[in-house]
Amino acid sequence: MSSVAKKTGKNSIEDKMYRQSRIFYQILKYVFLTMCCLMVIIPLIVVLIGAFKTHDEYISTGVFTLPEVPQFENFKIAFVNGKVMQGLLNTLIILAVSCFGTIFTGTMTAFVLQRFNMLFTRAVKTVFLIAALLPNISMQVTVFQIVSKLGLYNTLAAPCVLYIGTDIISIYIFIQFLNNISKSLDESAILDGASYPRVYFSIILPMLRPAIATVLVIKFVSIYNDFYTANLYMPSQDLAVVSTALYRFIGPYGAKWEIIFAGIIICIIPSLVIFLCLQKSIYSNLVTGSVKE
């Protein structure tokens, strides 16, 4: 308190300088943040403007020139002819199946690996730990042959099975979370005569809800944005996901950027909506997810 009192009590010139430098820093901060945000926004603005232009306008006007009359035709072409609609539908199916699968297999695996300390569970845990280090895209060199041998090539099952089967990070997150759930809860249930599966379904699974939220957020971001798995295993036009539908625009619409722009916007909208609705929980879930990795 004494130093504060001294500061305000001292001569006013020093006080004024102090205040001025504070204001200067404050302005500098806003300028810096605004510059950074402009760097994010400018590439996006160009896409937004371009998507509403006709092809003639695209060739003849600058990137920042607004369209004379906003066109919605590009969105229709991207959505229907460009298979973005199909892509959204397929992505939704894959997301639903993989999230459901990961949550069940992930929590069950974590439950067994964390609660039962047996030679077998320890061995499995070690294999999972090592598997987490394998570089995902490079692994496809040999995973590809297994997927083809199983007859999963060019089916929606291929990405689903891979997203469920090779998702070790989720198991990690569940195990970390279980470390903080006291075993005495299980034990008291067991004293009441509950079986292990029952302990899992009525105690562990409900308690894991926050961890499940974390996994769902990470899963959504990674699956919705994943390009390579679908590109490699589902070359069929009808099996396009959002990423591959958009990627295939490069061929037929290579010179028609206004249609590509429309496709980009359609494919960003779901992410934007989810982000705006769940902003706070996305930040915290991503941080927990990566710290626990």
Partner 1 sequence: MTANSAAPAKKRSLMQWLKGYTGQKYTTTLLFLLIPVVLLILFTVIPAINMGIYSFQKRDQLGVSWEWVGFDNYVRIFTDGAYLQTFANSIYYLIGSFVQQAFALLIASVLCSKIKFGNAFKGILFFPYMMNGVAVSLIFRRFFQKGDGITNTEGTLNSILMLLGGEPVRWLSDPNLVNICLVFASIWRYIGFDIIMYISAIQSISPDIYEAADLDGANAWQRFWYIVFPSIRPIVGLQLILAIKGAVSVFEIPYIITEGKNGTSTFVIKTIETAFKYQKVGLASAMAVVLLAIILIVTAIQKAFFKEEK
Site string (161-200) toward partner 1, x via CB under 8 A: xx-xxx----x---------------x--xx---xxx--x
Nearer to partner 1, 179 or 188 (CB): 188
63 makes contact with partner 1 (CB under 8 A): yes
228 makes contact with partner 1 (CB under 8 A): yes
Distance (Å, whole) CA 213 – CA 167: 15
Could you give the C-alpha distances from 286 to 33, 271, 276, in angstroms and in order? 23, 15, 15
Under a CB-based contact definition with an 8 Å cutoff, are residues 75 and 207 in contact?
no
243 makes contact with partner 1 (CB under 8 A): yes
Looking at residues 207 to 226 of the shown chain, list those that interact with partner 1 (rule: CB under 8 A): 221, 224-226
Nearer to partner 1, 79 or 111 (CB): 111
Distance (Å, whole) CA 87 – CA 213: 25
Could you tell me how many residues of this chain bind partner 1 (CB under 8 A)? 99
Distance (Å, whole) CA 36 – CA 139: 36
71 makes contact with partner 1 (CB under 8 A): no
Minimum CB–partner distance for residue 74 and partner 1 (Å): 14
Q: Which of 10, 16, 19, 29: binder of partner 1 (CB under 8 A)?
A: 29
Q: What's the per-residue H, E or C state across the chain? A: CHHHHHHHHCCHHHHHHHHHHHHHHHHHHHHHHHHHHHHHHHHHHHHHHHHCCCHHHHHHCCCCCCCCCCCCHHHHHHHHHCCHHHHHHHHHHHHHHHHHHHHHHHHHHHHHHHHCCCHHHHHHHHHHHHHCCCCHHHHHHHHHHHHHHCCCCCCCHHHHHHHHHCCHHHHHHHHHHHHCCCHHHHHHHHHCCCCHHHHHHHHHHHHCHHHHHHHHHHHHHHHHHCCHHHHHHCCCHHHCCHHHHHHHHHCCCCCCHHHHHHHHHHHHHHHHHHHHHHHHHHHHHHHHHHHHC
Q: Which of 58, 75, 79, 174: binder of partner 1 (CB under 8 A)?
A: 58
27 makes contact with partner 1 (CB under 8 A): no
Minimum CB–partner distance for residue 240 and partner 1 (Å): 11
Considering only the stretches 9-17, 22-30, 75-83, 173-181, report the one whose residues sit in contact with partner 1 under the rule CB under 8 A.
22-30
Minimum CB–partner distance for residue 237 and partner 1 (Å): 16
Report the Cα–Cα distance between both ends of the chain, in Å, rounded. 44
Nearer to partner 1, 81 or 290 (CB): 290
54 makes contact with partner 1 (CB under 8 A): no
Looking at residues 90 to 129 of the shown chain, list those that interact with partner 1 (rule: CB under 8 A): 105-106, 108-109, 111-112, 116, 118, 120-121, 124, 127-128
142 makes contact with partner 1 (CB under 8 A): yes
155 makes contact with partner 1 (CB under 8 A): no
24 makes contact with partner 1 (CB under 8 A): no
Nearer to partner 1, 25 or 180 (CB): 25
Minimum CB–partner distance for residue 82 and partner 1 (Å): 12
Q: Which of 84, 94, 239, 282: binder of partner 1 (CB under 8 A)?
A: 282
